Chains A and B, each alone.
Chain A
Amino acid sequence: MQKFSGLELLRRALGGHKSWQPQWRNPDPKPEYDAVIIGAGGHGLAAAYYLAKEHGITRVAVLERGWLGGGNTGRNTTIVRSNYLFDESAALYEHSVKLWEGLSQDINYNVMYSARGVLMLAHNIHDVQSFKRHVHANRLNGVDNEWLTAEQCKEFCPPLNISSMRYPILGGALQRRGGTARHDAVAWGFARAADARGVDIIQNCEVTGIRRGADGAVEGVETSRGFIRTKKIGVSAAGHTSVVMAMAGVRMPLESYPLQALVSEPVKPAFPTVVMSNTIHAYISQSDKGEMVIGAGTDAYTSYSQRGALHITTHTLDAICELVPQFRRLRMLRNWGGIVDVTPDRSPIIAKTPVPGLYVNCGWGTGGFKATPGSGNVFAHTIAKDAPHPINAPFTLERFRDGFLIDEAAAAAVAH
């Protein structure tokens, strides 16, 4: 792998940048791998990277229907935080934030993790009670999260309107270590680092079937580029998880919904942090390029169309203009949709499945980006050891049968 650094950039500039190599190869699939990951989004690529790095499993293929990083990785609003309520969630997301903090150095790719803080606004007494419960639980779990009064919110994020509005702000929960990262860089960085360790990333290769043996265990995957033999398949297909798992005959507790996001035209720095308001359904941050990056909840009905309705966008911008009324004159530059797979308890599944050799990482709903390194890390462990890492052990499929839900949404009325 060619090293990336300022010095290398200078050195190669003298040669007109002619000597840069492809960041990843474009290999043809081999007939057999030790493990196959389905889906070259951030999660799948991270899993492949950690399989190679931490478990020495390098005969790995990552199969991607389209282009790597082309799904939710490249369509989300890049918020990173770990101030989740339940112990299980806090451990998982905190694992991820810790990896984020050293990720650029680890994979030698600047993922621009920017811990500019994530501020979640409380608009009513119920929000206050709920967020304080988070703050206390987070503190005892070693996750930073602090309560700010409305005035402190305003001080931390001066553009914010806190009073002349329908639902005045009563305070907020701030995770200072939260922030944003550069979404494409995460996919590309993991792809490059995995590729360097021997992982084959095979794009434009659609999985059309999962072959199982007489014992029920997986034998390989049928693809648009031929059959690939393997004993371990990790499904990391986000919105398409139900479709892929159906190929192995596994029904999933998932529904796929459109999730929209939008950006404004770029402007000079005008919004210093990430602000989320679940009560009025909107969140906003400013990218390094200057665009206001804005999102909200999912559309109302299941869909694979990768687009949503105008009235959802309209409602999101109602809320943004209420929170930051000086942004009413900014203009929307792009609006797009992704497909998010949602579980009944809004927590992910990172687990073994009833099919031997088949593993699944899914159900991230609207909150998967923040978990990319952590999720890939424990998913790799699960695939390598055929057993979950302690961090993902609670995130099973069986929890729905047994009733051990990890219901962040119900408990907090907070979207991810």
Chain B
Amino acid sequence: MLIITCPWCGARPELEFRYGGEAHIARPADPSTLTDEEWADFLYNRTNPKGLHAERWRHVHGCGRFFNAVRDTVSDFFVVTYKAGETRPDIAGDQAK
């Protein structure tokens, strides 16, 4: 069971959280202007990296807030967690930046 640091509440066990998938996929402001291809990319395509992954978590059995995290999907260690709306922090060796 992971320990996850909620930016609002601090470090808590994984059981208090729900995973929310890849982060920083903003819903298009006007979906009607997107082609089917673009819309499918938004809906379904995911980076799914082996390595650092920016992802959403929700402290569902706590403050209820969504927040973002960068986690190494190979080791499952978190590098950083940050509030929703903040940009992905600079991390050395982060190829996605």
Residues of chain A whose beta carbon lies under 8 Å from any beta carbon of chain B: 240, 242-243, 246, 251-256, 300-305, 309-311, 341, 344, 400-402
Q: Are B73 and A302 in contact (CB under 8 A)?
A: yes
* B46 and A301 within 8 A (CB): no
Which residues of A lie under 8 Å from residue B40 when comparing CB positions? 253, 400-401
B49 pairs with A253, CB closer than 8 A: no
For B18, B22, B39, B46, which residue has the most chain A Cβ atoms within 10 angstroms? Answer: B46
A246 / chain B contacts, CB cutoff of 8 Å: 47, 49
Contact B14 A242 (CB under 8 A): no
Report chain B residues within 8 Å CB of A240. Answer: 50
Contacting residues, chain B, for A311 (C-beta < 8 A): 1, 14-15
What CA separation (Å) do A255 and B36 show in the bound complex? 21
A400: B residues at CB distance < 8 A: 40, 43-44
CB atoms of B46 and A252 under 8 A apart: yes
Residue of A nearest to B71 (CB): A301
Q: Decide: A302 near B1, CB < 8 A? Known: A255-B21, A400-B40.
A: no
Minimum distance in angstroms from B58 CB to a CB of chain A = 11
B73 in contact with A303 (CB, 8 Å): yes
Asked whether any CB of chain A lies closer than 8 Å to the CB of B8, the reply is: no
Cβ of B80 to closest chain A Cβ, rounded Å: 16
Contacts A300-B18, A302-B53 hold; do A254 and B76 have CB atoms under 8 A apart?
no
Shortest Cβ gap from A244 to chain B (Å):
10
Q: Quick check: A253 and B45 within 8 Å, CB to CB?
A: yes
Residues A304 and B21 in contact, CB atoms below 8 Å apart: no
Q: What 5 new A-B contacts, CB under 8 Å, besides A242-B49, A243-B48, A304-B50?
A: A243-B49, A252-B45, A305-B73, A309-B14, A311-B1
What range describes how many residues of B lie at the interface? Answer: 20 to 34
Query: Given contacts A303-B76, A305-B75, is CB(A401)–CB(B37) below 8 Å?
Result: yes
Query: How many inter-chain contacts with C-beta < 8 Å in the A-B complex?
Result: 70
Assembled-state Cα–Cα distance A311/B17 (Å): 13
> 9 shortest A-B CB distances, which residue pairs?
A242-B48, A253-B44, A401-B40, A301-B19, A251-B45, A400-B44, A304-B50, A300-B19, A304-B73
> Closest CB-CB distance, B44 to chain A, in whole Å?
4
Q: Cβ of B90 < 8 Å from any Cβ of A? A: no
- Of the A-B pairs whose beta carbons lie under 8 Å apart in the complex, a sample of 5, sorted by A's number, is A242-B47, A300-B14, A311-B1, A400-B43, A400-B44
B27 to chain A, nearest CB (A): 16
Give the interface centre of B19, B36, B73 by most chain A CB atoms within 10 Å: B73
> Complex formed: what's the CA distance from A138 to B87 in Å?
50
Q: How far is the CA of A354 from the CA of B11 in the complex (A)?
A: 44
A300 to B16, CA, bound (A): 12
Query: In the complex, are the beta carbons of B48 and A302 less than 8 A apart?
Result: yes
- State in angstroms the CA–CA spacing of A4 and B53 once bound together: 48
Give chain B nearest CB distance to A81 CB in angstroms.
Answer: 27
A246–B19 Cα distance when bound, in Å, is: 24
Q: How far is the CB of A300 from chain B (nearest CB, A)?
A: 5
Is B30 engaged at the interface, CB distance under 8 Å to the other chain? no
Residues of B within 8 A of A401 (CB): 36-37, 39-40
The smallest C-beta distance from A271 to any residue of chain B, in angstroms, reads: 30
Question: Across the interface, do A402 and B74 meet the contact criterion of CB distance under 8 Å?
Answer: no
Do A254 and B36 have beta carbons less than 8 Å apart? no
B1: chain A residues at CB < 8 Å are: 309-311
In the assembled complex, the CB of A132 is this many whole angstroms from the nearest CB of chain B, namely: 31
Smallest CB separation, A288 vs chain B (Å): 34
Q: Which residues of B contact A252 (CB under 8 A)?
A: 45-46, 48
Closest CB-CB distance, B81 to chain A, in whole Å?
13
Contacts of B86 in A (CB 8 A): none
Q: How far is the CA of A153 from the CA of B43 in the complex (A)?
A: 41
**Shortest Cβ distance from residue B42 to the other chain A in the assembled complex, whole angstroms:** 11
Residue of B with least CB distance to A311: B1
Q: Give chain A nearest CB distance to B19 CB in angstroms.
A: 4
Q: Indicate if the CB atoms of A251 and B50 lie closer than 8 Å.
A: no
Q: Which residues of B contact A254 (CB under 8 A)?
A: 46, 48
Chain B: minimal CB distance from A360 (Å): 13
